[in-house]
Structure formats: structure tokens, C-alpha cells
Structure 1
Amino acid sequence: MSAGAKILFVDRDGTLIEEPADQQIDAYEKFRLVPGAIAALRRCVEAGYELVMVSNQDGLGTPSFPEETFSGPQQLLLDILAGEGVRFREILIDRSLPAENAPTRKPGTGLVRHWLASDALDRARSAVIGDRETDLEFARNLGLRGFRLGAQCTWPDIAHALLAAPRRAQIARATRETRIEVEVDLDRATRPAVATGLGFLDHMIEQLGVHGGFALALRCSGDLHIDEHHTVEDSALALGQALREALGDRRGIGRYGFLLPMDESLAQVALDLSGRAHFTFDGRFPREQVGALPTELVPHFFRSLADALGATLHLSVRGDNAHHMVEACFKAVGRSLRDALRRDGDTVPSSKGTLA
């Protein structure tokens, strides 16, 4: 699930340690680290990934591969990695021989069955890293992305692919009053597709995608025969939830965003994607309604958006034309989102190390 942990299931021999000709690392003389592994893993750990080692060790514990010949090089590997800030949440070793066809042997998933039965795994962002086709098959069996280390795929390549993962979310929200579907992609800009049954609201939500620089599709079927309130509020909540999910742990974002004039109107925005919800509005609209949208619901839309997104949003507007004023608000928030959502590195933009 998107709210779960980002896990990298990492092979050992040929992935972390260079694999010798006899395919068995049973002596210190055979110990060689794979180039680039430590630096790439450290970047991934700093980006919020947790590591699980999953390794087939043929016949470990038998006379042909005594436990003591394995444990020394294994502990050396763990000590070296720990010294660089790279630690494993779990170490899962299968000791069976290939002929046994054990369900715990990769590409079988027996060793990680507890992950498959758990809702703590973020499937969209987790991955398998190995050096064999069986590692890719293991990834497919888990329903995860797989990376096969080799001449065409190095550790730096893998780290870049993981840290530049697409930030997308799809939300379906259904209540007695509304049914809403929202899709966002923060790293792709396309023409927004919005249909709420309120033409002016559609036009305004489109401004968030256009000026925010992200792909946005929102469809809402609401109880407009009663009034506009639920459609406006729930559209904002669903959109905020989608943006929050797409942001993940908010690592690497610009975080802050500011401003926008429109003709005689001026909207001023201060935005912080802090993970904490707060909204302040200052302004008075000269008309009670623009199109089918009551202007009293404009600040309510942004309050709901800030609540669901987990953002601090201060919005003020002044002007003479209500249409211009409302549009300036949506455009200004969109431009602020563009700055705040943009990638700006690999770290969480907070001295605490987390945004929540």
C-alpha cells in the first residue's frame, strides 16, 4: 500500500558481494564488494527505504558449506555496511538445494510470505534488486519492480531510478452525497480533465493543474439537486488526499510556494507542504455567486484542500470583480503548488528529518 514502508529486497552474492567462480563465498579471500553498492544503498536509506536481504545459500549448514565458513564473511559484510549507515531490517536466508524446489527458495516467495500478507508494504515504491533472472522472476511473483545488476544496469543507475520514481496517486471517494475519482501525476503536465457538474468550479480546479504544472483528472457526481456544498467540499478533500498520497514522505520537494495578480485583483498565497493542516483566509467577494459556484464556498474549498493535503495555506484576495478574484485565488494557489511540489534534491526539507 502507498502508506506502507518502502522496502528493497536485496540479493547478496553477485549483488552486494562479487560472486566467485564456484558461487560460494566461504572464505575471506573470496570477499569483494560490488562497486557502487554502498554509496547507492546509503542514498536509498537516506531517502526512506528499508532493506531486506533475501539470499539463496545452497546447502548452508551441510558438510559442503559449513555454517562457520559462511558466518565470518557475512558478518564482515554487515559490519562494513553498518559503518556506512546501511542496515538491514531483516536477513532472510534459504539453505535448500536447487533440486529440492523449496517454496522458500527464490524465485519462490515463501521467505517473504509475511510481507505478502501484510498491509505494511508500499508496493508502488518497493523493489527487488539482484543479479540473476530468478531475481526478476522473484520480483514479478511479489508484484514489484525488479532491477538486474549488470553491465547495462549499475548500482548508480538503480539508485537514480528509485529516487526519481514517479509521484502518482489515484483516489476513489464515495459518500452518501458524492462519488469522486481523482488522478494526479506530479511529474507530468497535461491538460486537466475536470467534471464536477459545476462549470465554474471545473474551470477553477483546472487552474490548479495548469498553473501547478501537474497532471490532474477529477470526476465528481454529487447531490447538486440539494446544493453545491458537498460537491465543492468533497472535490477539495479528494484532490488534497491524492496530492498527499503522491507526495509520499515529501522527500526532495521545494516545500514552500508563494503569489498572483489578475487584472484589478490580487491574490497572495503563502504555502508550506509541512504535513500539518492550517488555513487562513482574508478577503470579501462583491458577489454571492459566480456561475453556479457560491463564493462563500471558495475559502471552504481551500480549507478542505489544506486539511486533506496536510498543508499550511494562507490566502488573501482583494479586487472589484468576483470572477477575477476567485480565479486569481485558484491560479495563485496553483503557482504556489508548482514551486512547492517541484523536486529539489533527495532529502526531506526539514531540520527534524520528517514532514508530518
Structure 2
Amino acid sequence: MAKRILFIDRDGTLINEAPPTYQIDGFDKLTFYPGMFRYMGNIASELDYLLVMVSNQDGLGTPSFPDETFWPVHDFIMKSLENEGIHFHEFLFDRSYPEENKPTRKPATGMMTAYMDNPDFDIANSYVIGDRITDVQLAKNLGCKAIWINNDPNLGGGEVKDRQEELREVIALETRDWKDIYAFLKLGLRKVEHQRNTNETKITVNVNMDGSGNAAIDTGLGFFDHMLDQIARHGKIDLAIKANGDLHIDEHHTIEDVGIALGEAFALALADKRGMERYGFALPMDEAEAKVLIDFGGRNWLIWDAEFKREKIGEMPTEMFFHFFKSFSDAAKCNLNIFCRGENEHHKIEAIFKAFAKAIRMAVKRDPFSNHLPSTKGVL
């Protein structure tokens, strides 16, 4: 099996940086990043990643930063790590200055060519861990994701903020806490791309259960898109759905099959339920009251207690709301109890979708320090 890699920066990531020079050229400047030993030790002992240190050391070997001031401190750092069971496969140091623009200087990938396009390594599922925006850019250049230790949001002023937005899709986690990094790596990214193609519909679903609420929905049905957007926004799930259906006939197949495809994607993303809460519920909206109870317990069942007086809301037939949730429940293998009362039909269905999203968010929450499967049966 191809090996995943953690490309880890040193200064500002494993050890604290020392302004104004940011050169760790003496033991008086050396302090370790809080919590690093504990959680790096957990990563090294519990998770199957190759550890590679990648660092820019500006002018190392020049009179302003001689080797004899660097290596004793570095060797002490590495010995301290090894004493805690943290072993690096390789140390990659670039000695150039930024203005030299060398291909070996981060974010360029010249030091990492041995790992790229190599079937022995799974770059796509590897991570760069570092504290600079250049580390995020390095992840993009390598074709992996970044875990960004954002120690100073104002570093570099507006340029860094602009670059942060440009590289947002590369950042899998932004934190200042090694506990968060360990939790993220241990739990894994519950992210899937799923396709469902029939003679009636062609649907692609991308879902990240641990996302931030980003949505890109296109089913050809505006109100349905709006409701699916609620699942992403209020469930804090990254969700992209592209559906091409036989809308020239009617809406039925598109709505039903999106429900099936979304449920199948959830089933794939939640295949490992260890540490997961499993259950979730609730929500009011203006005069409407909606209650959604969900259990990702591996069995499908739907209780539907909601009535609509209008035939359509937008271009979406109200009879299809039941079919969407029934399709989702069947495909996701979850129990789903939905109750709603109110006067405004738009408010009622929007309350249901928002409650559904909140219930999902509650149910899929995980505890990284628990390996508990939420079932007395021992299987879900």
C-alpha cells in the first residue's frame, strides 16, 4: 500500500520561532511548541504516516548563520523527539535566501521530487504541516492538503489574507493547537465523491462531513437547491451536488434520485462510526415548529408527520418532500422521524431542512479520544 506522508516544517511548528531573526542559532532561543511532544508522539505511535521534515533555513552556512550554531541545536531537537518515539525519515533543508528563488526552496518542490510521481507514496492523501502561507502553497504544489498552524494572522498584512483566500481549498485544517492536528489526523477526513447514473438522472455528490458549510448545488430546481443549501450551511457540511435529470418530464426522478445519491454518499462517508454521537435532533422557524430525529444506526425507517396545503413551493411539488427524505433514509440506512406544524408553507419546509441539517451535525460529531462504537451490538 502506498505510504502517506506528513511533510512537517520545523520552526514555528515543532519549535517556537525566535524573532527578530527567526534563526534558532543558540540554545537560549530554543523552546518547543506547546503540546507538540504529546500529540506528535500520539501521531507517530498510532497513525501510519511517514514523517519528513522540510524547512527553509535562510543563509545556513554563511557567516551570518554558520553551521556550527545550527547543528548542535538541531541535533538536540531531533534527539528530544526520538526520545518520545518520534522518528523522521528524512530532513530536507534549503539554505537559500528568498530572493534567490531556487527550485529547492519552499514552496517550490525541488527537495521533494523523490516522493512525487512515485507509486510508493500516496501524495494525494498526505499533508504539509507548517506555520507559513508558503507551507500552504507547498501543499498545493505537491498536490496534497495543508494543516496550517496560523500563529500570526497579521503576518505579512493583507497579502497573507489574500493568499489565504486563494489557497482556501488546500487548507484542510487551520489551528494553533497540536491537539487539533492529532484529532484531525486520527479521525480522518470523512470526504467522498459519489456518482449515481440511471437512464433518468445523472448525479454527482461531493460531501465532506467535517467541512465548514460550503455549498455548490445545481439540480435544475431552484427551490430544491435552496433547501439542499440549508443542509450544508446549517449542518456545517461541505456539499456539492450536480444533477442532470429528465425535468422535461417532471421533477420526480431528479428529487428522488438526489435523495438516494445523497444518502449513499452519507453511508460511504460514515462507514466508520467509531467515536460518533450517532443521534441528533430539533428546530423552530418563526411560527413553524420542526423536529427531526435521526439515528445513523444502520437501519432505514421514516416517520413523516407533516402536511402541506399548497401543491408546490417554488417549482418543487410538496408531495416530493416525503419522497426525498424517504430516499435519503433508505440509502443512508438511518432512522428519520420528522414532525412539523405551522402556517407558512415555505417556513415549514425550510424549518424541516434546517432541523435535518442540525440533527445531522449533532449525530456525526466525533470524539477523537474515543474509539467507542455507539452500539451494544458491537456493529453498526
Q: Classify 1:217/1:137 alpha carbon distance in 2 versus 1 (closer, same or farther; 3 Å).
A: closer
In structure 1, distance between residues paired with 2:204 and 2:87:
37
Q: Which residue of 2 aligns with 1:346?
A: 371
Please report how far the alpha carbon of residue 41 of structure 1 lies from its aligned counterpart in structure 2 after TM superposition: 9.7
Q: Classify 1:288/1:158 alpha carbon distance in 2 versus 1 (closer, same or farther; 3 Å).
A: closer
Alignment-mate amino acid for residue 252 of structure 2? H
Q: Does 1:245 align with 2:287?
A: no
Counterparts of residues 55-204 of structure 1 (less than 5 Å): 132=89, 140-141=119-120, 143=122, 162-204=185-227
Cα contact 1:167–1:185 (8 A) shared by 2:
yes
Q: Classify 1:346/1:8 alpha carbon distance in 2 versus 1 (closer, same or farther; 3 Å).
A: farther
Cα contact 2:3–2:121 (8 A) shared by 1:
no
Cα contact 2:275–2:371 (8 A) shared by 1:
yes
In structure 1, distance between residues paired with 2:221 and 2:322:
17
Q: Deviation string for 1:186-239 (max 9, x for gaps)? A: 111133111101000000011111111111111111000101011001111111
List runs of 5+ in structure 1 lacking aligned partners.
1-6, 11-34, 50-128, 148-155
Q: Which residue of 2 aligns with 1:333?
A: 356
Q: Give 1:269's match in structure 2, choosing from 292, 297, 316.
A: 292
Q: Deviation string for 1:99-146 (max 9, x for gaps)? A: xxxxxxxxxxxxxxxxxxxxxxxxxxxxxx99646x979994264767
Q: Classify 1:146/1:220 alpha carbon distance in 2 versus 1 (closer, same or farther; 3 Å).
A: closer
Q: Give 2:329's match in structure 1, choosing from 265, 289, 306.
A: 306
Q: Deviation string for 1:123-178 (max 9, x for gaps)? A: xxxxxx99646x9799942647679xxxxxxxx99975652311101111111111
Q: Does 1:222 align with 2:245?
A: yes
**TM-score relative to the length of structure 1:** 0.58
In structure 2, distance between residues paired with 1:138 and 1:330:
44
Q: Classify 1:286/1:190 alpha carbon distance in 2 versus 1 (closer, same or farther; 3 Å).
A: same
3-state SS of 2:353 partner: helix
Q: Classify 1:190/1:335 alpha carbon distance in 2 versus 1 (closer, same or farther; 3 Å).
A: closer
Q: Which residue of 2 aligns with 1:321?
A: 344
Cα contact 1:286–1:320 (8 A) shared by 2:
no
Q: Classify 1:303/1:139 alpha carbon distance in 2 versus 1 (closer, same or farther; 3 Å).
A: farther
Q: Give 1:260's match in structure 2, choosing from 283, 295, 320.
A: 283
Please report how far the alpha carbon of residue 296 of structure 1 lies from its aligned counterpart in structure 2 after TM superposition: 0.5
Q: Does 1:281 align with 2:281?
A: no
In structure 1, distance between residues paired with 2:362 and 2:257:
25
In structure 1, distance between residues paired with 2:200 and 2:291:
32
In structure 2, distance between residues paired with 1:342 and 1:197:
31
Cα contact 2:213–2:235 (8 A) shared by 1:
no
Identical-residue share of aligned pairs (%): 42
Q: Classify 1:234/1:8 alpha carbon distance in 2 versus 1 (closer, same or farther; 3 Å).
A: same
Q: Classify 1:301/1:157 alpha carbon distance in 2 versus 1 (closer, same or farther; 3 Å).
A: closer
Cα contact 2:42–2:182 (8 A) shared by 1:
no
Please report how far the alpha carbon of residue 349 of structure 1 lies from its aligned counterpart in structure 2 after TM superposition: 1.4
Q: Which residue of 2 aligns with 1:108?
A: none
Q: Classify 1:171/1:349 alpha carbon distance in 2 versus 1 (closer, same or farther; 3 Å).
A: same
Q: Which residue of 2 aligns with 1:116?
A: none
In structure 2, distance between residues paired with 1:161 and 1:334:
22
In structure 1, distance between residues paired with 2:191 and 2:253:
25
3-state SS of 1:257 partner: strand
3-state SS of 1:194 partner: strand
Cα contact 2:203–2:243 (8 A) shared by 1:
yes
In structure 2, distance between residues paired with 1:349 and 1:41:
27
In structure 2, distance between residues paired with 1:323 and 1:158:
41
In structure 2, distance between residues paired with 1:285 and 1:43:
52
Cα contact 1:140–1:146 (8 A) shared by 2:
no
Counterparts of residues 25-40 of structure 1 (less than 5 Å): none
**TM-score relative to the length of structure 2:** 0.55
Cα contact 1:286–1:321 (8 A) shared by 2:
no
3-state SS of 2:120 partner: helix
Alignment size in residue pairs: 236
Alignment-mate amino acid for residue 268 of structure 2? E
3-state SS of 1:204 partner: helix
3-state SS of 1:285 partner: coil
3-state SS of 1:141 partner: coil
In structure 2, distance between residues paired with 1:238 and 1:321:
29
